[in-house]
Amino acid sequence: MKKVLSLLTALILLALSAPVFSFHTAAFTVADAQNVADGILAYKENQAGVSSEQDFINTYLTEKAGTDAEWYVLGLAQSSDYDFSSYESALLQYIDANDIYSATSRQKYALALICANSSSGFISDTLNNSIGEQGVMSYIYGLHLLNNGYTSRYYTAEGVIYDLLSLRTSDGGWAVMGSRFDTDVTAMALSALAPHYHQYSDVEEAIDGALELLSSSQRDDGGYYGFGGENCESTAQVLTALSCLGIDANTDQRFIKNGCCVLDGMMRYRLADGSFAHTKGGSADGSATVQAYYSLVAYLRMINGQDSLYLIDRRSPENVKPSRDNGSDYIPPSDDDYSYYDDEGGDEVFIHHIENIIIYEDGGANAAPSDAPTQAATNAPTQSPTSAAETQHPSTQDEKSTPQDAATENTATKDESSPAKGGYKLPVIFCVIAAGLILCAVLYILKKRNIKNYIFIGAIAAVLILFILLTDFSSKESYSQTEQKEHIAGQVTLSILCDTVEDSDNKYIPSDGVILPQTDFSYSEGETVYDILLDASKEYDIPMDFSAGSGYVRALNHIYEFDYGELSGWMYRVNGVTPSVGCTQYTLTDGDRIEWLYTTDMGEDIK
């Protein structure tokens, strides 16, 4: 009898301790998930003034092709059967009209074209010239393309898988930078590796280890922390990854904390109008809303027994045109496609534009304008850019799941009367020819009539004419004047700090580490962090070395990446948070507080 009582007592105590195991009642149903996804589409359709998903595709997504449409296209294509022909045409026009330097942006467009069942050669081009070009994210997106059966002349899925495994952090996850795993990047890597889970033992081991990391880092409310704070996007990426792996985030006990599952965690960011906020209590955020949408599509596909989100139902690799070597007109950027401007001693001030390169030269010391902040940088001798790979460095901020690509070429500000428009070229060329003829006449009169003399003069004239044709000139004043912005959307602040560095021998490092104190800037609709940094560099004469396509910042005020160790370089924050996208992709909102910070330890010293 005592043994029976002891057994009953043990069972009662076990039952009372059940909450410790955080059992979940799966109150969040499949119907709930579908309603939330439908609510997001209803919110977007209401914004666009349309009443159906097809109209939303034909109007809003077609108009936003290349900038704010691609992730909705992914979600819609994987949720039902729609006609994407108008969107496909618009995206191809966008690609044709713009130089897409960012590897991950090209991969995003290629994935969207697959969703639209396109046969464009851009898909093959992208597979041949983008994988590995922009760090870990370009391996992840490249693997998505290969997983769909599309082939590359240079890469296989197996090779990319092992490249991706080699990029794991010391704790077994993945990150854009540093040695600690990042929630978003780890989840995205799992989504790409998911189709190979049972194919390779080391892939299975890596996935299982990363799942343990994600389980142990889950918050008590079911959500996730990433890039400076709890946010919707990190939680959505985990939901996507689990769904791609066939794990039900609503019931799997590894991903239930304090009775809350991943879906519960994401729903805490949902607003009354159906949109999602980036942080709790925040306003509607485009990136959070679209990532919540396609994560729900991924979850519903898993529940319905369909392929993972990134294995596109419409995929037809056999219909894709060959790469550019066989007819496509897409030409990827070379390693030398960057923009650099700096200053050097001399009497004249010019900006030289030669193809994709900008060199800003200043004759003599130019003090900042009288209304400039007191810590604005002074000009200094030219320092050559480093050749280190951009994609493995702090300021790269590889693009992740983002709805917009704002890759832009940086050219000097010109007005209609500026000589940089090229109006000076014909007169100057005429002067060169005239000078050459006069010199030839002088030689003839002096009876120095050796044919080699005339050939030499002709060659010099030809070189000068070629230089004039390839080069545009404008005054520094013309360049430094910030364009008058139209349709002002609001105000932001920007500061530039290097207070992590103590180097009294470097005259470009202010004693207090403040290159530019917190300063107000106006911005127009659609402008990015990169645009404001460029405005600041012009207005306050802050030398800047950067890549035109990606907005990758190598140096500010002559302080370069790697100057203070292999882990040193420039990073940016907005409102105290390190964004998960590059500075060319972070679209501004009113009141944003932008900080550019120099780190000597991959961001660990500026937290």
What is the chain's percent helix, strand, coil content, to nearest 5?
Answer: 45, 10, 45
Residue where the block lists tokens 């191809």: 92
pLDDT, average across residues 6-11: 48
Distances (CA, A) of 463 to 110, 201, 438, 467: 42, 61, 17, 6
Tokens of 24: 């979940």
DSSP 8-state symbol, 584: T
Q: What is the pLDDT of residues 383-421, one digit of tens each?
A: 222 222 333 333 333 333 332 333 233 333 333 333 334
DSSP 8-state symbol, 20: G
For the cut 80, the answer to whether the pLDDT of residue 430 exceeds it is: yes
The angle that helices 183-193 and 201-216 make with each other, rounded to 10 degrees, is: 150
Q: Are strands 225-226 and 229-230 parallel, antiparallel or unpaired?
A: antiparallel
DSSP 8-state symbol, 98: S
Residue 487: per-residue pLDDT: 78
591: left (phi over 0), alpha (psi -120 to 50) or beta: left
Residue 339: pLDDT band (50, 70, 90) is very low
DSSP 8-state symbol, 447: T
Residue 295: per-residue pLDDT: 97
DSSP 8-state symbol, 600: S
For the cut 70, the answer to whether the pLDDT of residue 72 exceeds it is: yes
Residue 440: per-residue pLDDT: 87
For the cut 70, the answer to whether the pLDDT of residue 593 exceeds it is: yes
Burial of 438 (0-12, 13-18, 19+ CB in 10 A): exposed
The residues that bridge with 112 in the sheet, in sequence order, are: none
For the cut 50, the answer to whether the pLDDT of residue 601 exceeds it is: yes
Q: What is the pLDDT of residues 193-222, one digit of tens each?
A: 999 999 999 999 999 999 999 999 999 999
Residue 551: per-residue pLDDT: 64
Which of the pair, 52 or 339, is modelled with greater confidence?
52
Q: Which of 583, 580, 581 is nearest to 544 (CA)?
A: 583
Backbone angles phi, psi at 328, to 5 degrees: -70, 145
Q: State the first-to-last Cα distance of the chain, in angstroms, to the nearest integer.
A: 62
The dihedral through the CA atoms of 283, 137, 408, 578 has a sign that is: positive
pLDDT, average across residues 76-94: 96
Q: What is the largest CA-CA distance in the chain?
A: 133
Tokens of 477: 């004043």
Cβ contact 232:278 at 8 Å: yes
The residues that bridge with 528 in the sheet, in sequence order, are: 587
Residue 332: per-residue pLDDT: 41
Cβ contact 537:496 at 8 Å: no
Q: What is the pLDDT of residues 239-278, one digit of tens each?
A: 999 999 999 999 999 999 999 999 999 999 999 999 999 8
Cβ contact 577:228 at 8 Å: yes
Q: Are strands 260-261 and 350-354 parallel, antiparallel or unpaired?
A: unpaired
The domain limits of the chain are 12-326, 339-403+485-606, 419-477
Q: Which of 87, 55, 86 is nearest to 71 (CA)?
A: 87
For the cut 50, the answer to whether the pLDDT of residue 311 exceeds it is: yes
Distance of alpha carbon 462 from the chain centroid: 42
Q: What is the pLDDT of residues 542-556, one digit of tens each?
A: 998 876 555 678 889
Return the SS3 of 1.
coil
Q: Which of 397, 399, 367, 393 is nearest to 380 (CA)?
A: 367
Q: What is the DSSP string of 348-411?
A: --EEEEETTEEEEE-SS--PPPTTS-TTPPPP----PPP-S-GGGSGGG----S-S--------
Distance of alpha carbon 561 from the chain centroid: 19
Tokens of 171: 């704790």
Q: What 3 state SS string does 49-84 have?
A: CCCCHHHHHHHHHHHCCCCCCHHHHHHHHCCCCCCC
The angle that helices 232-244 and 286-303 make with each other, rounded to 10 degrees, is: 20
**Helices vs strands, H then E, count in the chain:** 19, 15
Residue 179: per-residue pLDDT: 77
CATH number of 339-403+485-606: 2.170.130.30
Q: What is the pLDDT of residues 166-198, one digit of tens each?
A: 999 999 999 887 678 989 999 999 999 999 999
Q: Which CATH number fits domain 12-326: 3.40.190.80, 1.50.10.20, 1.10.10.10, 2.60.40.10?
A: 1.50.10.20
Q: What 3 state SS string does 114-168 have?
A: HHCCCCCCHHHHHHHHCCCCCCHHHHHHHHHHHHCCCCCCCCCHHHHHHHHHHCC
Distances (CA, A) of 307 to 245, 262, 265: 10, 20, 24
Q: Could you tell me which residues come within 8 angstroms of residue 295 by beta carbon, excluding any fewer than 6 positions away?
A: 236, 237, 239, 240, 243, 266
For the cut 70, the answer to whether the pLDDT of residue 330 exceeds it is: no
Q: What percent of the chain has pLDDT over 90?
A: 49
Distances (CA, A) of 492 to 288, 517, 523, 578, 590: 21, 13, 7, 16, 6
DSSP 8-state symbol, 284: B
For the cut 70, the answer to whether the pLDDT of residue 302 exceeds it is: yes
Tokens of 262: 């991943």
Angstrom distance (rounded) from CA 414 to CA 548: 17
Angstrom distance (rounded) from CA 240 to CA 222: 14
Q: What is the pLDDT of residues 104-113, one digit of tens each?
A: 889 999 999 9
Cβ contact 296:33 at 8 Å: yes
**Alpha-helical regions (H) of 273-374:** 286-303
Q: What is the pLDDT of residues 120-154, one digit of tens each?
A: 999 999 999 999 887 888 999 999 999 999 999 88
Residue 134: per-residue pLDDT: 76
Residue 95: per-residue pLDDT: 93
Q: What is the CA radius of gyration of the chain?
A: 28
Q: What percent of the chain has pLDDT over 70?
A: 74
